[in-house]
Every structure is written in C-alpha cells, then in structure tokens.
Chains A and B, each alone.
Chain A
Amino acid sequence: MSHLHLVDGVLEPVWWVLGYAITLGILGIAVTKVRKVELAKKVPFIGVISALMLITMSIPLGFLPVHLNLTVLAGILAGPWLGFIGVFIVNLILALIGHGGITAVGLNTLIIGVEVFAGSFVYKLLVNRIKPVKASIISVVIALLLSTSLMLGMLAAVNANWEHALSHGDGHTSILHEGEPLEIGFFALSGWSAFVVILLSGIMLEALVTALVVRFFMKVRPEMVI
C-alpha cells in the first residue's frame, strides 16, 4: 500500500519517461532471466502471481482506506524477477482501467518493484537464520519502508521541480501569480498526518497478513517458503 496511484498529467514528462525507461530495462533483464528456466512453464505462473496481487487488492478490509498488495509475499514465492514482471502486469492492468495513470506505470512499477526485490532479498537472507514468520515480518517492514521513502522522495522531487518552475514564472504555470496562496495550511497538515497514519497502518497490515500467510504455508507447504 505504499504506492500512490500517480495520475496522468501531474508529473513532468521527464520523470515518467525515465520511469518507463528504467522499468522496461529491468523488465528486459527479468525476461532473459526467466527465459533461461522453462519459459513456457513460467508464463502461467506469472499470470497466477499477478492475478493474486490484483485480487488481494480488491479484498475489503473494513473501514480503513488501505488495501493489501502482498508484493513481498509474491517476491518470496516467485522470486524477484518473476515478481517484477508480475508487478508490471498488475500496474498496467490497473492503469488500463483508470486506477493510476498510464504514464505512471513505469514509476509505479519501480516503486512497487522495490518491494519485490527488497522483500525477497531480505527474506532470503534471514530465512535460514531466524524463523520464517519473523523473517517475513522484517522483510515486509524493510521493503515497504524503502518503497515508501522512494515514493515520498520522488514526490518531493517532483514537487520541488514544480515549485521551482513556479518561482521562475514558467509559462505554463504563470497563472498562479495572479492569486494569493490560499490559507489552507492546517488542512494540508492534517491531510499529511492522516496520510502518514494510513501509510503506517498499511505497512503493519501488510506485515501481519504476510506473516499469517507464511505461517499457514509453514503448516501445509513448507517447501514453498523455505
């Protein structure tokens, strides 16, 4: 739940073009990696992983405006490369139905892709040293904090860029000089704190569900998570 569903038209083209370029580059590497190991067999698996991510997103959780992603779980189960392809597919399908801009697919994939990579890496590192359930919690927290920082950093950069353009009287945004900035500081502040609360509860929730599912696998199919 650390992605923001960036919308079209908010980002400077240079950002989303760069996002697409990096994503397609990683996708290219991922495809070559996958191709080495029985491609035909992996394609249905990619489909299943992506479908599972899409589906867990649609599970109603009650009153909180968050949804599960289970990207780290996907990374643990499918490995980083297949997981990354899955994340791209999920973002593309979401963008096609208007959930997140089509121009933002590259950036969104990168942000969530970080979860898959960091999650599976940390999990692999820890799983032989501590219990898988604990390893999964730590992986989720680290992965989601990373992706959240990446997202916030990116937003800050985008925003700084935008304000920079503004203060230099950029042609497109000069309209702003006509009016006084509105006094909605308090609202913006409470908006941000609400946002942080939602983010943190999202991370906790994701960690909890991932841990519970890993515990479930340990009981019935331990070979899937070890």
Chain B
Amino acid sequence: MDIAYIDQLSNNGGGCLNKASAISKILMTVCIIVSVILCENVTELAVIFAVLLLLIVVNKMPLGKILHIAAYPVFFSLLFALMRFSYSVEMGFVVLLKGANAAVAMILLMVTTPYPLIFSFLRLFLPGVVVDGLLFTYRTFFILLDKLQKALTVIKLRGGFRPFNIIFNVKNLAGVIGVLFIHAFDMSERMYNIYSLRGYEGRLVLESKWYGLKKWDCIPLGIGIIILALVVVL
C-alpha cells in the first residue's frame, strides 16, 4: 500500500505546491477533474497530462514513484478503454488519459497536502462521525499494517508462503487475518479508553488550517483555472 509513502511525501516535500494552502490545491484538483470529465479531445487530455507531469517534476516529487502509484488506476482505465478501442483508437486513448489524468491529479494533491488538512476540508460535506472515522482509519492503518507485515514475514520465514499455491497461502493467511482482527478489535477498545482519558467525547478536535490564501497559491489556482477555461473554450 502506498499510503505511508504518500504521507511521507506530503509532510516532508518542500516544493512550491507543498507551500501552497490546501484549499488552492483542492480547487486545482477539482478544476482538473471537471476538465477531464468535460473534455473528449485526446490532444487536450494529453496536454493536461503533460502539465501534470511537469508539475510533479517542478515540485521535486519522484516522478517514477508517482507514476507507479498511478499505474493501478490506469490499468482499470484500460479495461474501459478496451470497450472504446473497438470503435476507434482515439476514443480508447481518451478514456485511458481521462483515468490517468484524474488519478495523477488526485495523487498530486495527496503528495503535496498533509491528510488532516484534506479531511478537515471534507468536514464541510460529510458527517462528523465519518471524518473522525477517516482520521481513526488513517492512524490505525499504520499500526495494523506494521503488525500484518511482521506476521507475513514470519509466515514466509517459516515456509508458509508459496507463490504458486494460492490455497496453501490462503489457509495460512486466514490465521493471520483472524489474529489481526481480534487484535484490532481489542485495540479499538483500548484506544477508546485512552482517548476518553485524554478528554475525547465523540469528536476529534483538530486545528487544521486548510483555508487562508498565500502567495504560493497563485500557482495551483492559476493552473487549475487556465486548464478548465481552455477545455471549456476549446
């Protein structure tokens, strides 16, 4: 899972997009996704893709790694593209580029913006429980992932993983998953106790300033608006 890596980049990156406020980057992402939805022209989509790649490079983000993260959604776009390829190659590429653009735009937002800021912004649209659930998910994800990775390593070291015998792997895995679930449920109980001791009463109070514009915001805002305007006009 790439979440840990994305988190690392968003907190430690020093590029121009990292310096901009969350709201401007969210707006840029929205503009790009709306453009992607509206646009049916393969050249325009390719230009948007090029701009995104350029942004990654200018922002000193690891291009290879980000494209690797984007490869998975692009693979799924390919399935949809296959249906369209039967009509025209161009139409296939349109679908492929749409998927790729949206995915890269989203990943670009995530690698340049720490997640608490994005979740705080989501508080505007989602019930508080869901946003708190998001934050808890994020926190427990890393704890449980660590446990799972250790358990999987132990399984491999003890000869419990065979690359071509899926039934064999699944049997061993089920044990690990069972233990992980029980550990996780007990953990949720303990976490609730600890947070209650620390004053938690059903709402996580975070001070995350996703708004408030800075001079760096003209870059994402400008790019987002220009892309959207060009797609609409052309």
Contact = CB atoms under 8 A, between A and B. Distances in A.
Question: Do A and B share a direct contact in the complex (Cβ within 8 angstroms)?
Answer: yes
Contacts of A4: 76, 79
A196 B99 CA distance: 23
A74 to B, nearest CB: 9
Nearest to A5: B76
Interface in A83-105: 85-86, 88-90, 92-93, 95-103
B80 A10 contact: yes
B129 A35 contact: yes
A173 B91 CA distance: 8
A159 B124 CA distance: 34
B64 interface: no
Given A182-B86, A216-B175, A8 B129 contact: no
Contact of B129 (A10, A85, A99, A220): A85
Interface string B175-204: 101111110110111011001100011101
Interface size class of chain B, counting residues whose CB lies under 8 Å from the partner chain: 35 or more
A55 B95 CA distance: 29
B135 A47 contact: yes
Nearest to B77: A7
Nearest to B163: A62
Nearest to B39: A9
Given A98-B107, A103-B33, A209-B170, A77 B181 contact: yes
Contacts of B103: 7-8, 98-99, 101
Nearest to B202: A40
Contacts of B31: none
B202 A39 contact: yes
Interface in B1-54: 1-3, 6, 33, 36-37, 39-40
A83 to B, nearest CB: 12
Contact of B137 (A7, A54, A97): A54
B216 interface: no
A146 to B, nearest CB: 21
A56 B162 CA distance: 18
Contact of B37 (A9, A70, A89): A9
A31 B134 contact: no
A86 B133 contact: yes
Contacts of B225: none
Contact of A63 (B104, B164, B167): B164
Given A5-B76, A39-B129, A205-B166, A48 B140 contact: yes
A153 interface: no
A125 B88 CA distance: 49
Nearest to B35: A9
Contact of B6 (A70, A97, A188, A191): A97
A166 interface: yes
Given A40-B201, A46-B133, A181-B87, A212 B170 contact: yes
A205 B140 CA distance: 26
B76 to A, nearest CB: 4
Interface in B119-166: 122, 126-127, 129-130, 132-141, 144-145, 148, 152, 162-166
A175 B39 CA distance: 13
Given A9-B36, A47-B140, A213-B178, A59 B110 contact: no
A44 B192 contact: yes
B98 A46 contact: no
A25 to B, nearest CB: 12
Interface of A: 4-10, 13, 27-28, 31, 34-35, 39-48, 50-52, 54-59, 61-64, 70, 73, 77, 85-86, 88-90, 92-93, 95-103, 159, 166, 172-173, 175-176, 178-179, 181-182, 184-185, 187-188, 191, 195, 205, 208-209, 212-213, 215-217, 220-221, 224
17 contacts: A7-B73, A8-B36, A8-B99, A47-B132, A47-B137, A48-B188, A52-B180, A52-B181, A54-B137, A57-B1, A88-B130, A89-B134, A97-B107, A103-B37, A178-B88, A191-B79, A213-B178
Given A64-B166, A176-B91, 13 more contacts: A8-B36, A31-B130, A40-B200, A47-B135, A51-B138, A63-B164, A85-B129, A92-B134, A188-B82, A188-B86, A191-B82, A216-B174, A217-B178
